[in-house]
């Protein structure tokens, strides 16, 4: 059975890697950029559209505010990038925002940041996949008709790619990401050349449409609120920036410098593309509406529910390159693909953060270990499961999902930058070197401005998006926080309970005597082996124990026991209701009550079989007994295996599997150097 599962596993995720090959999976900057920055780079495919959608509430006249909103987003992006460059130099271990907040603001702040980041990573996968499905669905109707199924299939595919390892997934994602970036820059450059130099008139497919404003002539506080809401939607371009600070250990050396350089490259590319698309959208007269079926008018008539509203980037590309041109098709395909791959940012950030949280005992320890391909496999699978759940609940609707977005990332931004300010204050209190102090003061100023700005944006996001779905993200953060707190208390309680006492030894842990009990049902080879093993233990007392469920069999057992002349006394427990487990448990507990300082060692013969269906025919009473005895204080349970002939089949199957897969070969060494296993003597 294990071979049946192992073969597909190797086909899907590849041959297992040795631990000493971890260095080979580290990323150069050219691969790290698409791996960790695919989310903020791809967000330019939908962030400009979100800005225009919000502004459309006040009509086309409100579109002239979009360049100013773009400027505000650019300032925020550069502020966050500059702030995080300080983070990766000061905390290169990969803890990112969580480590900064925990070290400087305390465990509760760190846990708050961790909760926010975990929620944001899950939403990154859900939003990116849903948006990509919708972009692809405009060309392939089947995808729109089965959005949830297709989105789930894409998540499963991304999960398998990431289970193969960070470096391999990075190579797979690099090409479409770079094609997308190159396509957008080419579109911006060609559009600017046509508009400025050639003087061409470029018009988007919706340029001739009229936009029916929900609130015409909006002004005063309502206008300010609308602009703030549009700004908060545009801040989607910043999601994923923190992933680089969390993924510093995945970079090649010098890790901090390479991570900081990648951050700067990502920020420059993202803001240039974001501003370029906003500018071209204004130049080509793009029209967007939150409810296009009613609010977009063609010749004074609503376009109706059959109309499919293309994203801003698609409309701009059609205006610049021409509908159906090769460059238009290439950019459209790269946009849809890079939106799928944007989820890879979360696939690298979530497992790394989960590993650190598991090491700090806030999450199950299984999340701390690497899988066969040296990736944090359990964290990858957990992220995929949570994202699929969100996709299912929200019907793979990006418009509904994006309202949950951004809250978590700005919580982590604000607390992280506040923690960095305290970090520099602490170091400035002891640093005497004037040159180092000047650098620290400059870094503190950058982080202080970042904390103020991101905190202000967090207030704006909460105020403008709370009723639109942001409360769900906050609820998710609370659930993560409470769950991790409970897990930490459990681990702390267990650690205190099992902590070794001080001193070289403790007599209170040493039992006065050991009373061994061998469970038998009849006299056969497994019983004889268990008795022989029990005698070798040299316990203070030893007895055989059987349960009388069939008087005839019990009498035959007694007679044969006496005939063979065993020196070990046989005790038979009566069981009027033909139970086996309860009489044994009560007898063992009785021994413990009589001598609380004694240890009772229960020895159970067990069959070792070669087929799964044979397991159903044997050892069932032994499994039930062990399950109950393990909860009885002062009782030790020992299984004495007896290998049936069919177990040789399982042994050979395991040997073939070890020779086929890498882990066994690595541990045992080359075949020519392995010691030969002794053959099992025939009976």
Model confidence at 19: pLDDT above 50: no
Helices (H), 138-254: 141-145, 147-163, 166-192, 220-234, 242-246
Q: Are 332 and 342 in contact (CB under 8 A)?
A: no
Find the distance separating the first CA and the last CA of the chain, reported in whole Å.
Answer: 28
Q: Is the dihedral of CA 66, 67, 73, 77 positive or negative?
A: positive
Per-residue tokens: 400: 């509904």
DSSP-derived letter for residue 682 is P
Per-residue tokens: 268: 């420059």
Tokens 């296009």 correspond to 292
Going by pLDDT thresholds of 50, 70 and 90, the confidence category of residue 22 is very low
CA distance 510 to 501: 13
Per-residue tokens: 292: 């296009």
CA distance 46 to 131: 8
Q: Are 116 and 476 in contact (CB under 8 A)?
A: no
| Helix or strand holding residue 545 (H, E) | strand 541-548
Q: Which of 27-41, 317-331, 627-641, 667-681 has the lowest mean pLDDT?
A: 667-681
> pLDDT at position 418, please?
92
Instruction: Provide the phi-psi class of 374: left if phi over 0, else alpha when psi is between -120 and 50, else beta.
Output: left
**Residues 6 or more apart from 577 whose CB is under 8 A from it?**
none
Model confidence at 507: pLDDT above 60: no
> pLDDT at position 141, please?
67
For the stretch 257-288, pLDDT in tens is 888 888 888 889 988 998 999 999 888 888 88
Helices (H), 91-106: 96-105
Nearest to 97 by CA among 438, 407, 353: 353
CATH fold, domain 29-491, is Amino acid/polyamine transporter I (1.20.1740)
Model confidence at 230: pLDDT above 70: yes
Per-residue tokens: 464: 């403008």
> pLDDT at position 430, please?
86
Phi, psi values for residue 679, rounded to 5°: -75, 145
CA distance 366 to 176: 33
CATH fold, domain 513-669, is Rossmann fold (3.40.50)
> What percent of the chain clears pLDDT 90, i.e. is strictly above it?
7
**Residues 6 or more apart from 530 whose CB is under 8 A from it?**
518, 519, 520, 603, 604, 605, 640
Going by pLDDT thresholds of 50, 70 and 90, the confidence category of residue 611 is low
For the stretch 569-601, pLDDT in tens is 999 998 877 778 888 888 988 888 888 888 888
For the stretch 646-673, pLDDT in tens is 666 666 665 655 544 433 333 334 444 4
Going by pLDDT thresholds of 50, 70 and 90, the confidence category of residue 469 is confident
559 against 4, higher pLDDT: 559
Nearest to 413 by CA among 457, 350, 474, 362: 457
CA distance 324 to 638: 73
**Which residues share a beta bridge with 517?**
543, 602
113 against 677, higher pLDDT: 113
For the stretch 397-435, pLDDT in tens is 776 777 677 787 788 888 988 998 998 898 888 888 888
Q: Which of 120-124, 375-379, 512-516, 534-538 has the lowest mean pLDDT?
A: 375-379
Nearest to 314 by CA among 273, 281, 271, 341: 281
> pLDDT at position 251, please?
80
Nearest to 346 by CA among 395, 392, 390, 399: 390
> What percent of the chain clears pLDDT 70, i.e. is strictly above it?
80
Domain ranges of the chain: 29-491, 513-669
């Amino acid at each position: 059975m294990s071979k049946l599962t192992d073969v597909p596993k190797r086909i899907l995720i590849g041959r297992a890697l040795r631990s000493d090959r971890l260095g080979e999976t580290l990323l150069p900057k050219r691969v790290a950029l698409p791996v960790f920055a695919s989310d903020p780079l791809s967000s330019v495919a939908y962030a400009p559209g979100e800005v225009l959608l919000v502004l459309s509430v006040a009509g086309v006249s409100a579109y002239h505010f979009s360049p100013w909103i773009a400027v505000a987003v650019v300032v925020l992006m550069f502020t966050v990038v500059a702030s995080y460059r300080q983070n990766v130099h000061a905390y290169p271990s990969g803890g990112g925002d969580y480590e900064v907040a925990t070290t400087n603001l305390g465990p509760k702040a760190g846990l708050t940041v961790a909760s926010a980041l975990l929620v944001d990573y899950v939403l990154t996968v859900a939003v990116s996949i849903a948006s990509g499905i919708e972009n692809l669905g405009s060309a392939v109707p089947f995808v729109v008709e089965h959005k949830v199924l297709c989105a789930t299939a894409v998540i499963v595919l991304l999960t398998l790619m990431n289970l193969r390892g960070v470096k391999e997934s990075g190579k797979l994602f690099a090409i479409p990401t770079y094609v997308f970036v190159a396509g957008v820059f080419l579109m911006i450059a060609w559009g600017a050349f046509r508009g400025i130099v050639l003087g061409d008139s470029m018009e988007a497919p919706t340029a001739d449409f009229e936009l029916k404003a929900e609130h015409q002539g909006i002004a005063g506080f309502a206008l300010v609120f609308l602009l703030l809401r549009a700004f908060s939607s545009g801040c989607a371009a910043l999601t994923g920036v923190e992933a680089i600070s969390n993924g510093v250990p995945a970079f090649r050396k010098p890790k901090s410098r390479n991570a900081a350089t990648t951050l700067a490259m990502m920020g420059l590319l993202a803001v240039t593309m974001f501003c370029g698309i906003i500018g071209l959208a204004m130049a080509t007269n793009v029209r967007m509406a939150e409810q296009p079926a009613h609010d977009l008018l063609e010749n004074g008539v609503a376009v109706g529910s059959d109309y499919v509203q293309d994203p801003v980037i698609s409309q701009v590309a059609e205006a610049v390159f021409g509908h159906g041109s090769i460059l238009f098709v290439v950019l459209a395909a790269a946009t849809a693909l890079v939106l799928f791959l944007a989820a890879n940012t979360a696939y690298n950030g979530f497992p790394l953060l989960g590993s650190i949280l598991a090491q700090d005992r806030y999450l199950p320890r299984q999340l701390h270990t690497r899988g066969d391909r040296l990736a944090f496999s359990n964290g990858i699978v957990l992220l995929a499961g949570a994202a699929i759940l969100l996709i299912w609940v929200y019907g793979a609707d990006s418009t509904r999902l994006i309202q949950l977005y951004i809250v978590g990332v700005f919580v982590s931004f604000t607390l992280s930058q506040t923690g960095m300010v305290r970090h520099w204050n602490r170091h400035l209190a002891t640093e005497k070197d004037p040159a180092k102090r000047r650098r620290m003061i400059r870094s503190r100023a950058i982080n202080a401005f970042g904390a103020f700005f991101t905190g202000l944006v967090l207030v704006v996001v909460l105020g403008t998006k709370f009723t639109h779905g942001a409360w769900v993200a906050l609820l998710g953060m609370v659930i993560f926080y409470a769950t991790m707190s409970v897990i930490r208390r459990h681990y702390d309680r267990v650690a205190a309970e099992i902590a070794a006492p001080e001193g070289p030894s403790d007599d209170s842990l040493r039992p006065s005597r050991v009373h061994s009990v061998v469970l038998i049902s009849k006299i056969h080879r497994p019983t004889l082996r268990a008795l022989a093993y029990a005698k070798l233990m040299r316990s203070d007392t030893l007895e055989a124990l059987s349960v009388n469920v069939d008087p005839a069999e019990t009498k035959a057992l007694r007679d044969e026991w006496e005939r063979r002349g065993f020196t070990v006394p046989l005790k038979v427990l009566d069981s009027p209701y033909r139970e086996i487990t309860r009489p044994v448990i009560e007898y063992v507990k009785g021994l413990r009550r009589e001598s609380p300082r004694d240890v009772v060692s229960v020895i159970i013969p067990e069959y070792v079989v070669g087929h799964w269906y044979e397991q159903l025919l044997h050892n069932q009473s032994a499994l039930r007994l062990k399950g109950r005895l393990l909860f009885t204080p002062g009782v030790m349970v020992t299984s004495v295996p007896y290998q049936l002939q069919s177990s040789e089949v399982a042994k050979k199957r395991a040997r073939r599997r070890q020779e086929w897969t890498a882990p066994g070969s690595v541990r045992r060494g080359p075949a020519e150097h392995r010691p030969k296993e002794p053959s099992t003597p025939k009976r």
